[in-house]
């Protein structure tokens, strides 16, 4: 479980880094989020608030220099818990990558991690390019259908001490900004599977699984969502000057059957 989560977490990081416009000369990536150590200097909560998925791209080549920067970043990136993950830049034509909704992207980034010996899984592929001025009609319809511009309320996602007590945003204290950044994270079909239980100096994260999402061939895509969310949390915690780290120690809080413990953010003592 740990292996799965944290390799996917890295996938989240890369995607996010690429959405930050200045980072790679206005190149943006389809979905979303999160910075790595390197990306952190570009990444902040303002970017998280502004980010949107991009599916309609300009017919404009990505300069080789920019691609080099991306390649360098991908090479340097290491998993949070040392899970090997490999990133590859793909060409839509040569590598036969396509999507019914993505228009105009020739370049894609794929993140691949080893689930078991010789059993490689590629959980995420994201296009890379320059966002078009206008979304395609199909993309607009898709956003509407998924309600991509809205998110669940804070009190439905976050809890105090256990799952019985919803956490009121106004009463969430030091966790307000980090949790709000989790809330704004992107997720596959906007399902927002993250849940969190806050304590005084720890926040426990959980995945509320949507039926049918975890597939043998691709792994559990909602773990990517969780990875992105954790990364948003970490970035906002840093911005709030909260020093802490992620650990995996299940606190044993009773959960619903569809809800799985993922990780805990613990403040430095």
Ligand X SMILES: Cc1cc2nc3c(=O)[nH]c(=O)nc-3n(C[C@H](O)[C@H](O)[C@H](O)COP(=O)(O)O)c2cc1C
**Closest residue to ligand X using C-beta atoms:** 186
Total Cβ atoms within 10 A of residue 153: 11
**Based on CB atoms, which residue is closest to ligand X, 189 or 240?**
189
- Residue 51's SS3 state is coil
Q: How far is the CB of 164 from ligand X (least distance, A)?
A: 29
Q: How far is the CB of 126 from ligand X (least distance, A)?
A: 8
**Based on CB atoms, which residue is closest to ligand X, 28 or 198?**
28
Residue 205 in tokens:
């994260």
To 10 degrees, what angle do helices 176-183 and 222-239 make?
A: 150
| Dihedral angle sign, alpha carbons of residues 243, 180, 225, 261 | positive
Q: How far is the CB of 225 from ligand X (least distance, A)?
A: 5
Q: How far is the CB of 113 from ligand X (least distance, A)?
A: 14
Q: Which residues bind ligand X (CB under 6 A)?
A: 31-32, 52-53, 55, 101, 146, 148, 186-190, 221, 224-225, 228
Q: How far is the CB of 224 from ligand X (least distance, A)?
A: 4
Close Cβ partners of 256 (under 8 Å, ≥ 6 residues apart): 163, 208
Query: Rounded CA gap, 47 and 44, in Å?
Result: 6
**Based on CB atoms, which residue is closest to ligand X, 152 or 256?**
152
**Based on CB atoms, which residue is closest to ligand X, 89 or 146?**
146
First-to-last alpha carbon distance for the chain, in angstroms, is 27
Query: Rounded CA gap, 205 and 77, in Å?
Result: 23
**Based on CB atoms, which residue is closest to ligand X, 182 or 242?**
182
φ and ψ at residue 9, rounded to 5 degrees: -55, -40
**Based on CB atoms, which residue is closest to ligand X, 70 or 229?**
229
Nearest partner of 256 among 218, 219, 222, 208, judged by Cα: 208
Q: How far is the CB of 210 from ligand X (least distance, A)?
A: 12
| Longest Cα separation, the chain | 53
Residue 173 in tokens:
């204290």
């Amino acid at each position: 479980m740990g292996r799965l989560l944290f390799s996917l977490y890295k996938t989240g990081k890369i995607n996010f880094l690429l959405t930050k416009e200045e980072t790679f000369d206005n190149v943006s990536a389809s979905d979303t989020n999160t910075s790595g150590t390197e990306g952190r200097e570009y990444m902040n909560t303002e970017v998280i608030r502004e980010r949107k998925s991009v599916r309609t791209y300009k017919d404009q080549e990505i300069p080789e220099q920019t691609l080099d920067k991306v390649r360098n970043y991908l090479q340097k990136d290491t998993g949070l818990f040392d899970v090997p993950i490999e990133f590859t830049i793909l060409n839509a034509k040569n590598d036969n990558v396509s999507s019914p909704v993505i228009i105009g992207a020739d370049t894609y980034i794929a993140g691949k991690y080893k689930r078991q010996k010789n059993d490689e899984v590629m959980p995420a592929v994201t296009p890379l390019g320059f966002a078009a001025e206008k979304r395609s009609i199909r993309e607009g319809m898709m956003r509407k259908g998924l309600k991509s511009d809205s998110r669940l309320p804070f009190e439905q996602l976050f809890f105090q001490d256990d799952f019985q007590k919803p956490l009121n945003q106004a009463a969430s204290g030091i966790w307000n900004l980090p949790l709000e950044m989790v809330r704004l994270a992107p997720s596959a079909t906007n399902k927002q599977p993250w849940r969190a239980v806050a304590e005084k100096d720890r926040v426990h994260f959980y995945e509320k699984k949507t039926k049918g999402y975890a597939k043998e061939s691709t792994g559990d895509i909602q773990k990517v969502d969780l990875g992105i969310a954790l990364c948003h949390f970490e970035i906002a915690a840093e911005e709030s000057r909260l020093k802490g780290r992620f650990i995996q120690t299940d606190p044993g809080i009773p959960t619903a059957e569809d809800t799985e413990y993922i990780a805990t953010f613990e403040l430095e003592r």
